[in-house]
Each structure stands twice: as structure tokens, then as C-alpha cells.
């Protein structure tokens, strides 16, 4: 896998845009914590806290559209595809590549004289289940880090994650993003825990349930959780068609 | 003025970023129509429909932040400063500079070999009054065109205006942007006309007034219009402090 990756990257370098990159903040929820996916800038090295950790990202190819670049980069560096992807910001501080060590790495990797790179940032949303976790760590040396304890990353990637989290918080209030992070069938407890984790606050249990029960696109099933230690809770699904038809009438407020 | 501009531009060209530009969609409201400010790509020529009309925009300087570039470009090409400015999109179609004639002009103007330029777009909001109108047309050869009849512009600038209008429509529903376009003291008719013009629909007169009267940050004055042919209407002001304190509690909906 890594040899393939390195060869692939070598084929690409002649063709990279020296001014523009894309970086992806991949958010995942494991039922308890909101996490971010990090890789090592040297893909053959693991993602322990090495001082070389970064977001999946790269210079774009000269003739490439930004969203296509984001999809390609996610797929190349993490194997993830067909996931929610949203452009949320442009990072244009002329000093953002100031670390000499990081800049040298980028110049070696790209075989380009780099003067200034403006990066366009996307966030992605992923349900963390066991299969995703195994694929990412074995095939791509990528690791999930809790949003509350991100190590020091290269360039301005810590700042990009902060701004991505701000954007996710804002958009969570008006878009049904949380269902991208939850399993297909979820309990109201899981939904509440997800909102609380992302918004960074505690929500009143009774009020939350009352509000959710008024939303016709969160549909209770005649089905309960399996294999849990506590009393199994009722499962729900998100009905995207109902949501879309309500959204047309501008009557949707998630919380 | 033009000589100064051309000299200034010459001083800059050695230092331009060949990959990144900024374009500004300046919206103005004259009490009746929503308009966009256009300039000629040759600043010494007027802005009659010459096939060379464009948005105020330029390549950024190599070390420049995008928002600083937008402010500089607006000031250089239109004399406007200290006005509302909002980044709303990135235009990255690799074919966007495809017109050979437009590309040659850009290469001559910048003295750079141009391969591909990604542009970051901003919209601005301006109250059109007589003094603004005179300054813009005399000192800068810039002209207002009604949003409903924009001529063919260079590059993808027609598309940028369309997307800017979409962004303005979206944000008008949640932000108090309309007050950037109205005179300080305005009538409810003017406010309604502005909403109707931007949203492209007719609003029910009675409902509109009822909704507005419930908003504590739109304050009626003991003062009426002057010098109008019809019965002078009551004037109102927008109270930004009241709005800001309400916004903190997340209780603001403009319409």
C-alpha cells in the first residue's frame, strides 16, 4: 500500500500547483466522543505523537477542481470515499508555512520551490465503527484523536481543526449533519450525546426529547437496542425524504 | 487619477501572485432596484457596454491576505472603503480564463505567464446616493447596472454575480444586511421594497408590517419623510446595539 502511495505521489509531483492546497478535517463519532482523523506526514510511519502529525491534505494538481482534489486526497491518504464533505474556509496567513522544518518537508515532497500556499479546508463526517477503525489504522496508518486532546500538528493544522469545529457547530443547528455521524439506527441518548459533544454543553434531557419528538423526520422504530448492559432503548432512524420535503417549505429547525 | 492608477499597477505587477485573485461584487440599492458596480478592464475607458466590463478585482500581491487584498482592490478601482465586505465563494473552474482575448489582457496587465487563476469572491453592500454615484462615475469610470440586466462580462464574472446574489439572499434572512443598503433613516416601504428586490418576490404588505413591528431593533422615529409627492411616511432607524444584545440570546429572525 505505502509503496503504491509513494509511487503515485512521485508521478503527481511534476504536476502540482505550488500555491494552492486542500486540507480535510475528518470528524468521527464513536458513540461517546467527537474525534478527528490524523496522519503522519511520512505515510510509512505510524501516527503516534511524533511532531509530524497532520490533517489529510496536499497541494492540488494544476488543473484540478478543489472539491475533486479533496475527494482524491481523502481517498489516497485514508481510503475514505463517498462521505459528507463541506468546504468551510480558506487559510491564507502568509506566515502559515513558517516552520523551516515543515516547509523543507513540503518542498522535498513536492519537488517545488514553495513560496506561499493558501489552503482550502473541508470537513467530513464519518461514523466510526470497528471496520472503519481497522481499515484506517492498518492500511493507512491513520488514527483518531479526541477533539479535546489534539496534539501539536504541523503548519496551522491545529487552527484549521478549531475553525472546522466552529463551522460544524454552526451548521449542526440548521442542517441534519448529526445523522452522518450516527449509526443508521440510533437511540435518542446517542443523538443527545452527539449534540452535547459537538456543542460542548449539557442539554436538558426532557426538553431535548420533547423537541425531537416534534420533528417528523426522526422516526421511532418498533425495535430496541441489542447486547447492552442496561435496559435496551428504542431505536430511531432519520427520514431524509421527509426532511427534504419540509426543508422546501423553510420550516426546519433541528434544535 | 488614471495615471496614478496605471503607475501604481505597474509598481505592483512584479509582485503579483500568478494563481490567486480576488473579485468583489458590490451591490447597491437606489431605493428601487438592486444594482451591481462594474468597471472597464481598461480603467481609462468608460463603462458603456464594451464587452470588456468586469467586477472590481485583481491578482493578489504575493504576501497579501485575501481580505486585505479585497479592501485594497475596492479602494484602488472604486475609491470605496470601510464598507461591508463578505467572502462568499471560491471560483476554481480550470476553464474560467478560457477566452484567449481576456487571458492575453491579464497576461499583459500582470506581466506574468498565467496558467490558472482561482478567484476568491466577496460581496459588498453600498447605499447609492448622489455623492457616491458622482464619485464613482467621474473618478473611477465605474457604473451601476441593474441586477436584472447585467451585460456580458469577461471571464466567469456573470456567474460570480449570480452566486453572490444567491449568498446575499440566504444571508438576508438571518443577518441585518439590508440596513447596509438603506439610508440611515428609512420608511417601511423602502425596507419592504428592498426585501422584495433581493428575494425576487412580492411580500404581503400587512404581514410584512406586522412582522417588522415586532422587531425591537427597528425603531420608529417621531419624524417623517421630506420632499416627497405623496403623504410623507414615518421614518425608522436600525438599532445595532439592541440587535447585538438580542443576537447573543439567539432570538433574532429578521423575517
Q: Where are the alpha helices (DSSP H) in B16-99?
A: 66-78
Q: How far is the alpha carbon of A170 from chain B, nearest alpha carbon, in Å?
A: 12
In angstroms, the CA B98 to CA B116 distance is 9
**Tens digits of per-residue pLDDT, A147-171?**
999 999 999 999 999 999 999 998 8
pLDDT value at A135 more than 90: no
Of all residues in chain A, the percent with pLDDT exceeding 90 is 53
Return all residues near B192 (Cβ < 8 A) that are at least 6 apart: B203, B205, B208, B209
pLDDT value at A202 more than 50: yes
Helix (H) or strand (E) holding A246: helix A240-248
- Domain B180-248: assigned CATH number: 1.10.10.10
ipTM of the complex: 0.82
In 3D space, the residue among A50, A45, A25 whose CA is nearest the CA of residue A37 turns out to be A25
Tell me the pLDDT band of B14, cut-offs 50, 70 and 90. Answer: low
Question: Does residue A127 or residue B26 have the better pLDDT?
Answer: B26
Question: Does residue B48 or residue A97 have the better pLDDT?
Answer: A97
pLDDT attached to residue A3: 46
Contact check, Cβ <8 Å, B62/A115: yes
Question: Does residue B11 or residue B94 have the better pLDDT?
Answer: B94
A174: closest chain B residue by CA: B174
pLDDT value at B166 more than 90: yes
Q: How far is the alpha carbon of B4 from chain A, nearest alpha carbon, in Å?
A: 28
A20: closest chain B residue by CA: B19
Q: Decide: residue B241, CB within 10 A, 0-12 exposed, 13-18 middle, 19+ buried.
A: exposed
pLDDT value at B222 more than 80: yes
Highest mean pLDDT among A54-58, A105-109, B49-53: A54-58
pLDDT value at A198 more than 70: yes
In 3D space, the residue among A36, A49, A29 whose CA is nearest the CA of residue A78 turns out to be A36
Q: How far is CA A32 from the centre of its chain?
A: 16
Q: Where are the alpha helices (DSSP H) in B43-185?
A: 66-78, 100-110, 130-140, 157-172, 178-181
In angstroms, the CA A101 to CA B138 distance is 52
- Cβ contacts of B68 on chain A, cutoff 8 Å: none
Q: How far is the alpha carbon of A93 from chain B, nearest alpha carbon, in Å?
A: 6
A178-248 is classed CATH 1.10.3720.10 = no
**Would you say how long chain A is, in residues?**
255
pLDDT attached to residue B125: 93
| Mean pLDDT of the region B49-67 | 91
pTM above 0.90, yes or no: no
pLDDT value at A141 more than 90: no
**Tens digits of per-residue pLDDT, A26-73?**
999 988 889 999 998 887 777 776 778 999 999 999 989 999 999 999
pLDDT attached to residue A255: 47
In angstroms, the CA B41 to CA B215 distance is 44
> Which residues 48-87 on chain B approach chain A with CB closer than 8 angstroms?
62-66, 87
In angstroms, the CA A62 to CA A14 distance is 10
For Cα atoms B123, B128, B132, give the angle at the middle one, nearest 5 degrees: 100
pLDDT attached to residue A12: 58
| Mean pLDDT of the region B103-121 | 93
Q: Does A14 touch chain B (CB under 8 A)?
A: no
Contact check, Cβ <8 Å, A94/B65: yes
pLDDT value at A4 more than 90: no
Helix (H) or strand (E) holding B121: strand B118-127
Range with lowest mean pLDDT among A87-91, A135-139, B27-31? A135-139
B173: closest chain A residue by CA: A250
- Domain A2-172: assigned CATH number: 3.90.79.10
pLDDT value at A11 more than 70: no
Q: Where in chain A is the domain with CATH 3.90.79.10?
A: 2-172
Contact check, Cβ <8 Å, B92/A17: no
Residue A216 has which C-alpha cell? 417528523
In angstroms, the CA B239 to CA B249 distance is 16
| Mean pLDDT of the region B64-82 | 93
Q: Does B18 touch chain A (CB under 8 A)?
A: yes
pLDDT value at B30 more than 60: yes
Q: Where in chain B is the domain with CATH 1.10.10.10?
A: 180-248
Amino acid at each position: 500500500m505505502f509503496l503504491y502511495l509513494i509511487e503515485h505521489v512521485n508521478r503527481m509531483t511534476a504536476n502540482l500547483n505550488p500555491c494552492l492546497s486542500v486540507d480535510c478535517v475528518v470528524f468521527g463519532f464513536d458513540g461517546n466522543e467527537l474525534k478527528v482523523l490524523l496522519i503522519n506526514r511520512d505515510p510509512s510511519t505510524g501516527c503516534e505523537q511524533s511532531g509530524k502529525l497532520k490533517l489529510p491534505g496536499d497541494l492540488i494538481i494544476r488543473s484540478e477542481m478543489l472539491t475533486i482534489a479533496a475527494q482524491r486526497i481523502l481517498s489516497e491518504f485514508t481510503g475514505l470515499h463517498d462521505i459528507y464533505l463541506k468546504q468551510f474556509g480558506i487559510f491564507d496567513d502568509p506566515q502559515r508555512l513558517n516552520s523551516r522544518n515543515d516547509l523543507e518537508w513540503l518542498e522535498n515532497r513536492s519537488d517545488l520551490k514553495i513560496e506561499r500556499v493558501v489552503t482550502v479546508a473541508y470537513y467530513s463526517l464519518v461514523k466510526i465503527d470497528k471496520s472503519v477503525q481497522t481499515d484506517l489504522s492498518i492500511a493507512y496508518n491513520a488514527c483518531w484523536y479526541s477533539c479535546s486532546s489534539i496534539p501539536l500538528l504541523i503548519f496551522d493544522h491545529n487552527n484549521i481543526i478549531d475553525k472546522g469545529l466552529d463551522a460544524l457547530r454552526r451548521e449542526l443547528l440548521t442542517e441534519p449533519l448529526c445523522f452522518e455521524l450516527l449509526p443508521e439506527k440510533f437511540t435518542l441518548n446517542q443523538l443527545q450525546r452527539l449534540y452535547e459533544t459537538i456543542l460542548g454543553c449539557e442539554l436538558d434531557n426532557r426538553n431535548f426529547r420533547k423537541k425531537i419528538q416534534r420533528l417528523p423526520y426522526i422516526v421511532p422504530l418498533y425495535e430496541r437496542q441489542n447486547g447492552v448492559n442496561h435496559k435496551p432503548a428504542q431505536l430511531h432512524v432519520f427520514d431524509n425524504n421527509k426532511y427534504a420535503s419540509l426543508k422546501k417549505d423553510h420550516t426546519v429547525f433541528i434544535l
